[in-house]
Homo-oligomer: A and B are copies of this chain.
Amino acid sequence: MKKLLDLSIPNEGLTLQNLIDDCAQTLKYQVRTGHPHFMNQLSCGLDLVSMAGEWLTATANTNMFTYEIAPVFILMESVVLSKMREIIGWRGGDSILAPGGSISNLYAFLAARHHMFPQYKEKGQSCLSGQLVMFTSDQCHYSVKSCAAVCGLGTDNCVEVPSDERGRMIPRELERLIVERKSKGQIPFFVNCTSGTTVLGAFDPINDIADICEKYKLWLHIDAAWGGGLLLSKKYRHPRLSGIERADSVTWNPHKLMGTLLQCSTIHFKIDGLLLSCNQMSADYLFMQDKLYDVQYDTGDKVIQCGRHNDIFKLWIQFRAKGLIGFEKHMDHLMEMAEYLVERINQTSDKFYLILEPELVNVCFWYIPKRLRSMPHGPQRIQELGKVCPILKGKMMEAGTLMVGYQPDDKRPNFFRSIYSSAAVNKGDVDFMLSEMDRLGQDL
């Protein structure tokens, strides 16, 4: 790739024609993430309305820290975020857009720590008599553990709770670990419950976890960055997300299931005012109180960024285009495509092995090349199937016809995880995926 492209920075500027060639070349060699045969990440597809929204956003090129330079966009944030909180099941509360789910989870962590230990902002760990500890399942997104590193707890104080065979946190294990840490004089304060794990698409049991959080007075954060989109579907919301309204905070990324352009991540709080008191630094030069408008619309002091990209317009215009009903159909369609894939895998069980019945659009499976089809399924075949994954993925990339991701987990070697989050995927694409994997992989 380095040899194919001239990416150098010239001394003298290039001509317009050169720049157009640069653009054409870039698009030619870039991966077509908008194509329905791109099933590699949680964010697939290209929603054209959202894309047009991003073009307008670029043209308006403003910053979201104060109302005075982004009045329309700030009001849009207010409308969209309060609708999202209503969908979660709250009245009131507060929310903000963040550059990705990891930073959204970080905001939840910071708000929880600030709410429970208000002196921490000024004094740090020295205001407490014991070590703070947080809990999350061993299947959670890695950003949760990263919070512990960034915020000074240390990753040793982010306790991993075991999950069941479907990848869901085991509530009695959570309770056992809370009691264990408390008995050491440590201070449990935060539980992360994942709604839609990254690899298996599992939903931790919210109500059981919420009961434990209430019992021990812990902050309940729900990382629904991935699964949150299902809140828009009457059919699929329950039981997966039942109890979400009991959380103190919820991460929900429209740039995943909802197909909003990258990046668009939201974090919601049940309590209003916390985001501001937690992150406020009261910079005199931005957040003056003597302005000629209601300064509660200056959202910049609620975040740890200063300048903040406008991530709302592309989501707002998408809500206008689809409406709530359109988004519900979109969610139902994605789930139906995953169900269809499962059906097809089960129909061709000589070539494909379904690892578990999915709760979300993550479908985890092995592809079985000819030489392994007659081998009985067991540890030996699983080892071999794991070795097939990187080679078959490499073949897909060389052919340029398909991208499906693979990874190992704590229970298995490499396996494929396909994702349907592009609204453009139809049954033909599902069939293509299977036949193309078979075409490329049968002799491996």
Contact = CB atoms under 8 A, between A and B. Distances in A.
Contacts of A283: 142, 198
A255 interface: yes
Interface string A2-13: 100101111111
Given A12-B325, A121-B149, A146-B304, 12 more contacts: A1-B75, A9-B79, A19-B320, A23-B56, A26-B313, A31-B71, A34-B61, A54-B55, A99-B100, A99-B305, A125-B126, A291-B393
Interface string A51-86: 110111011111100001111110110011001000
A5 B58 CA distance: 21
B152 A120 contact: yes
A203 interface: no
Contact of A131 (B124, B281, B290): B124
A373 to B, nearest CB: 24
A83 B11 CA distance: 12
Complex copy number for this chain: 2
Contacts of A19: 49, 52, 317, 320-321
Number of chain A interface residues as a range = 35 or more
B61 A46 contact: yes
A179 interface: no
Nearest to A282: B142
The 4 closest A-B CB pairs, nearest first, are A152-B152, A124-B154, A285-B407, A99-B99
A307 B75 contact: no
A195 interface: no
Given A2-B75, A41-B69, A110 B150 contact: yes
Contacts of A141: 306
A126 B125 CA distance: 9
A30 B304 contact: no
A127 B103 contact: no
A299 interface: no
Contacts of A180: none
